[in-house]
Amino acid sequence: MDESLVVRRETQIAAPPATVFAFLTDPQKILSWMGAEAETEVHPGGLYLVKDVGGRPGRTARGQFREVVPVHRLAYSFGWEGDDAAPPGSGLVEIDLIDRDGGTLVRMTHTGLPNAEQCANHAKGWAHYLGRLRVAAAGGDPGVDDFARSLAV
């Protein structure tokens, strides 16, 4: 594995692992911090789908759950519909939820990214969305998702 094409992020969330797990797997809770529509089948081989990510119509993340350990760990394939560089199933997102300091340490690793540009874009996206997750899972309102606007030059 080319370590230069791996995105790693950690964030501490002021909520228990069960709450954070729900915000990563329950479609209604996912919508509080990412996307306009979500569908999940939370079991190995089940669907992971989030539409209109970043407020961009047609930007759809799709994958399949590979590992589900309730309240502790998720792993799912990941990619973008209509994106030849990073199509559905081309990447792997692994998320560990660690009970720490009265809350949850979220440790995320995204592998399988094809090049430095995709890696940089995903690193920026994960920083944005893990920040939104941190707010939502702790009971706050992350506000309107302006990620697409931040990409405009």
- CATH number of the domain at 44, please: 3.30.530.20
Which pLDDT does position 72 carry in this prediction?
Answer: 98
pLDDT in 10s for each residue of the chain, 153 residues:
678 899 999 999 999 999 999 999 999 999 999 999 999 999 999 999 999 998 888 899 999 999 999 999 999 999 999 999 999 999 999 999 999 999 999 999 999 999 999 999 999 999 999 999 999 999 999 999 988 776 654
Contacts of 38 (CB under 8 A, 6+ apart): 27, 28, 30, 31, 49, 50, 51
DSSP lists the bridge partners of residue 71 as none
Strand, coil or helix: 49 = strand
pTM: 0.94
In 70-136 the beta strands, taken as DSSP E runs, fall at 73-80, 91-100, 103-111
How many domains, in total, are found in the chain?
1
Question: For residue 98, what are its two tokens?
Answer: 């660690």
Residue 148 is predicted with a pLDDT of 72
**Residue 89's domain spans which residues?**
3-151
Residue whose entry in the numeric block shows the structure tokens 């990409």: 151
